[in-house]
Amino acid sequence: MKKRRLGKSDLYVSELGLGCMSLSTNPKNAQAVIEAALEEGINYFDTADLYDFGENEQIVGQALKPIRDKIIIATKAGNRWNEKKDGWSWDPSKKHIKEAVKQSLTRLGTDYIDLYQLHGGTMEDPIDETIEAFEELKPEGFIRYYGISSIRPNVIREYVKKSNIVSVMMQYSLLDRRPEEEALPLLLENSIGVVTRGPLAKGLLSNKMIDKTSQQGYLDYSFEELNHILPLLREKLADSRTMTELALQYNLAHPAISSVIAGASKVEQIKENARAAQANPLSEEELSIIQSITKMNQYEQHR
């Protein structure tokens, strides 16, 4: 598995990372998936304190403890569960972040977090205060680097301008090309690594694509459009490639991308994703065909 540098950091992350949110809460099952990821050369594991009320961090930390110095753990903060654990609220305050990091470290069973990410963000946040919290955590030794997870262009611009983020995690796929217009060029220009999530567009770009098509459509695509576009992509491009290959290689084709995060709940999914990530890069012709079939989606509702 090839690795790419994450922004200006000294972290070199596998081109395919494991999104741990999909892991089973059964430690034995989760361990099997994580071990399969390691066998495929994946060194980048992404979790969050929000997942399974923190249990996800515990499972990930326990599974990776024997090889802690050989892998990269990314987690996130900013969401606070309520007392009943039936909902959460957004809290990007300095006080919460500095408390949350210690709780994550305990659950992960580690002394440091390689990449600590703000799990969202709005323009109404106390952004300077939030940045201050992350900046203080570095010399305190709790984190090595920090980034944000956001799909909001205005929020991304603020952090690019004001902070030392090394990465931005965002949703991106050949069906969700919103980042191409604004975010990816900005981040590439500023040497900030992009970590993408949702490359398979909720399964629409997997080999079971038609079965996953929702009557509600997807982003700017209607149900009817998806039932036209998805078979067309397969017809034009998937003779010698799987749909998963097309999906992951489309992400990896952009020079701003450091790693593509894909979830997996089964060992077979890890193996399929790893094969797709290690396939030959898309040609210029293939990229052109994809972009002629798909839309440049709009970000308006997220500004």
* Coil vs helix vs strand at 161: helix
Cβ neighbours, 10 Å, residue 288: 11
Can 159 be counted among the known catalytic residues? no
How far apart are the two ends of the chain, measured CA to CA in Å?
36
Distance of CA 104 to the CA centre of its chain: 18
Question: Would the CA dihedral through 297, 124, 48, 217 be positive or negative?
Answer: negative
Among residues 61, 36, 23, the alpha carbon closest in space to that of 275 is found at: 36
Among residues 184, 192, 124, 194, the alpha carbon closest in space to that of 155 is found at: 124
* Alpha carbons 228 and 96: distance in angstroms, whole number: 47
* Alpha carbons 92 and 101: distance in angstroms, whole number: 12
* Alpha carbons 173 and 48: distance in angstroms, whole number: 22
* Alpha carbons 142 and 40: distance in angstroms, whole number: 29
Which single residue is written with the structure tokens 């017809």?
A: 235
Q: Of 51, 145, 159, 172, which one is the catalytic site residue?
A: 51
For 78: left if phi > 0, alpha if psi spans -120 to 50, otherwise beta; the answer is left
Which residues are catalytically annotated? 51
